[in-house]
Structure 1
């Protein structure tokens, strides 16, 4: 007899696909865009990444939960994923540094999940059909009802989510180097803040919807635009005012993920929904300036549209070697650059940490 509860659960996709498994985490019903992450470690950092807000996260690595959870690994104040899907869920953990099991962590954060799923088969299905909405349920087990619920779930395209995950008021994070950076929180990860602070920056971290007057008052030496969830075209409706102001100051600018997309949109470059998206800690990206290949951490379902980059306004600096998509831009009308992937890399490799140094060097050069 099993030592752990075995309650049935169902994963229903909007295309009618239904998968049966066992409930993990909080009991209930949840839904969102079904995506997958290929990272072998770092499930806690993934689950707390604000860029995953409103999405169901399927982990391709089969064993999840085996090293428990610890407070220091959170990237945000709470779990951000809408639900989780795993192949083999570990109720017990082997890690003396862990605070609690993944099961306790998910229960405390009221996150619904399903295990016992053939994730390899389901990932192939998503790669062939494209991302789609889905529902996980451990309380309602009527397949037809759940499929209809998935069909009716709100699409990610056109959805503005950054203002739902950002901090409610501006916060100052003190560094020791005398550089002042205005960082815009569209779902900023804690390790981005750590990387900038550790390089001597004092940050004023502003909520997504911040007045221009408040930003001007800080009088920053440089501007950083963060990662975040949702459709960048929807976020741009209020965020571009700040981007345009930052450009007008002539001071250095740096953007990651959603921030990269917003900087591109400000220069008339198109950003669109991807067929599947990139999510994992093992994506090869080529730096076109150096010719070196970086192994990168990625999490995005939208991207800069190839062919929409006017060489008069921006230079493509990085490309994804898996599919040739654009991963980095250097702008020509203002001192700014941006990348689609995550150089703060937690979890993941540190090949791209130099980008933070590049930003700091730009700021110092401008101040000089």
Structure 2
């Protein structure tokens, strides 16, 4: 076990939380948020949507099953700024574990603080809203110095973080779900269709999770991932049968190039366009809706949403600090499709005439429940429906 070095979390509003350092020795400033998931810390760490966020885990102990290599990772590297927890396990015990969580974080340059009063911190964030905070192990700095650093740090509002996490070049993704990628599961997360049988799908990478790509491949999509700044002309040059707008971090209002892309894709009405998380927000903004920064957001694996079409309640994985104003949909061609049963937040939309849909929650989970994965089936069905329609018009 490494030396127990004191560490502090200083929030912009002056609150100071004390604990013990683990992971990398580094000082970072980030938006401090909380996540209520009991497991899935590696997936959270590597989810690009957590870029510029210090994640407070409400579960009492973190890291007991270690880090099982790269199979659970949702991107090529950790993207969260820091982890805050009550206790971290330094000696994990699990048949899949390859290293401890503190060792993994140290290797990737991610700092953490354990020994925090996470109940008090979570209640403060819930009551006062998410705050910018500074994580530091430097005992030469006063509390006031750290608070000043937090006040001077960038705000999440106005930040375009999609450009930070997106791919630089297009690439093909071919991995679906197999016993090799999911050795712990008797039942794979999705049905296995013939590779490429649906056709080419362009995924616009605003911070895409690997699990999204796996779900598309498993359903027969030939997946091509393209940078966030890709234009509509460049997308259509690949002759796709559908376009998928990925999740990602930051303020959706700042991703103006994404708005322009979606407006052109929808105006062309050539292929189905679906989106998740940031992709959902960008789609809505592109078609005239408005967004806002939430008080403390939705982050966890147990969020209930109601399907407006069926009345069914789904338990979903969520990670978003911005939301679309439901009232603003009145001036758009979109209508609500899902609503949060926690606070009434808009959780999905569909176009009134076109095969264009999006959801705020994460149907791919990673981590979380799988019951919302039917969203990918809807996408594939929309593609097949569009193909039939095109043949009828041609005939």
Contact 1:87 1:118 in 2 (8 A): yes
Q: Does 1:294 align with 2:314?
A: yes
Q: CA deviation at 1:241?
A: 2.1
Kept in 2: contact 1:62–1:86 (CA 8 A): yes
Is the CA contact 2:287–2:332 (under 8 Å) kept in the aligned structure 1?
Answer: no
| Contact persistence 1:312–1:332 (CA under 8 A) | no
1:198-228, CA deviations, whole angstroms, 9 ceiling, x for partnerless residues? 0000011101112443212101111100100
Offset of residue 172 of structure 1? 1.6
Q: Give the TM-score normalised by the residue count of structure 1.
A: 0.97
Matches within 5 A, 1:85-124: 85-124=84-123
Over 3 Å counting, the alpha-carbon distance change for 1:197 and 1:132 in structure 2 is same
User: Are 1:276 and 1:301, in contact at CA under 8 Å, matched by a contact in 2?
Assistant: yes
Contact 1:27 1:139 in 2 (8 A): no
- For structure 2, the residue ranges without an aligned partner over 5 or more in a row are 175-194, 389-395
Work out the CA distance in 2 between the residues paired with 1:311 and 1:294.
Answer: 28
1:215 matches 2:235? yes
Q: Which residue of 2 aligns with 1:151?
A: 151
Match of 2:64 in 1: 66
Compute the TM-score of the two structures, normalised by the length of structure 2: 0.90
Cα offsets for 1:59-82 (capped at 9, x unmatched): 011110111002111101111011
CA distance in 1, matches of 2:376, 2:231: 26
Partner of 1:8: 6
Aligned to 1:171: 171
User: How many residue pairs are counted as aligned between the two chains?
Assistant: 365
Distance in 2 separating the partners of 1:88 and 1:14? 24
Return the alpha-carbon distance in structure 1 between the equivalents of residues 112 and 272 of structure 2. 43
Matches of 1:26 and 1:4, distance apart in 2: 11
Aligned to 2:267: 248
Name the SS of the counterpart of 1:73 in structure 2.
Answer: coil
- Does residue 239 (structure 1) correspond to residue 237 (structure 2)? The answer is no
Whole-angstrom CA distance in 2 between matches of 1:34 and 1:12: 10
Could you list the runs of 5+ residues in structure 1 that have no partner in the other structure?
none
> Match for residue 189 of structure 2?
none
1:264-343 alignment, distance < 5 Å: 264-310=284-330, 313-343=333-363
Please say if 1:355 is aligned against 2:383.
Answer: no
Out of 24, 27, 37, the residue aligned to residue 25 of structure 2 is 27
Query: CA RMSD for the aligned pairs?
Result: 1.2
Q: Say if 2:387 is the partner of 1:367.
A: yes
State how far apart, in whole Å, the 2-side matches of 1:342 and 1:33 are. 21
